[in-house]
Amino acid sequence: MKATTFEYMANENDFFDTNSSAQRKYEMIRAHKVDGLKVTKVTEKFGYSRPTFYSALKRFDEEGIKGLLDNPPGPKEPSKAKDKVVERILALRTENKSVYDIEDDLKKEGIDMSARNVERLLKKQGNFKKNAHKSGK
């Protein structure tokens, strides 16, 4: 994105924050809808791609200004199911099972988690010893 694209807006409009992607997207949509500028022109002017424009337009039409705010991807709250899986892994670990044994047991219970992810989870929980035995693998 060119720095000069917004310099005139920032100088003429004290309220315009060139660092706010939500405001830039709003101004881009406004320029298209109110000023009648073509999509190609507004995307060049504001430094966004056409797909980003159409995505922002759809979210704006559905949610208003709130739809233009940056929302991090992923769930907003921790998954209760994940908590149960963590509890199950920790319970299996208390039985001195290796990450490979835990992986196998989880698969039998319909939970698809690799041994590497089991290891990561155990490390995060502070319950992983480097010398844990490998079960037949």
- CA 32 – CA 24 distance, rounded (Å): 12
Specify the residue for token string 């309220």: 15
Does the model's pTM come out above 0.85? Answer: no
Domain boundaries, the chain: 4-68, 80-125
CB 16 within 8 A of CB 9: yes
Q: Which residues contact 92 (CB under 8 A, 6 or more apart)?
A: 101, 102, 105, 106
Q: What is the pLDDT along the chain (137 residues), one digit of tens a residue?
A: 443 344 444 445 555 566 788 989 999 999 999 999 999 999 999 999 999 999 999 999 999 988 888 776 666 666 666 888 999 999 999 999 999 999 999 999 999 999 999 999 999 888 777 655 555 55
